[in-house]
Amino acid sequence: MRANINVRWETLKDQGRGSVSDLSATGCFILSGGAVHSGELVQMHLYFEDEIVALWGQIAYAVSEIGFAVRFMFAKDDGDRLRRLLDVLSVAG
């Protein structure tokens, strides 16, 4: 689903801020600069209206100067929380 969610992200070598432009239960696309590479682990904090969701993922691919795609890697509670938020967003949108 299309989204506009603020995010802070961090890899082992870089960090930044950006915007999640596409979000699903399995991954997202982050509009942001930064030197990231496919396969890197990334920690993200997604800022929803009343909640911050911390997630881990693996960078699927990067598009220079545009952003990168992330495939989520969940602890069970994180995945359940994100799915609940996605349900709320789909009803609101």
Over the stretch 60-82, which tens digit does the pLDDT of each residue have?
999 988 999 999 986 666 667 77
Here the contacts of 57-65 (C-beta below 8 Å, separation 24 or greater) are 57/27, 57/28, 59/11, 60/27, 62/36, 62/37, 62/38, 65/33
Phi, psi (degrees; rounded to nearest 5) at 79: -65, -40
Could you tell me the CATH number of the domain that includes residue 10?
A: 2.40.10.220
Parent domain of 45? 2-92
Q: How many domains does the chain have?
A: 1
Q: What is the pLDDT of residue 36?
A: 94
Q: Over the stretch 14-46, which tens digit does the pLDDT of each residue have?
A: 999 999 999 888 899 999 988 899 999 999 999
pTM for this prediction: 0.83
Phi, psi (degrees; rounded to nearest 5) at 80: -65, -40
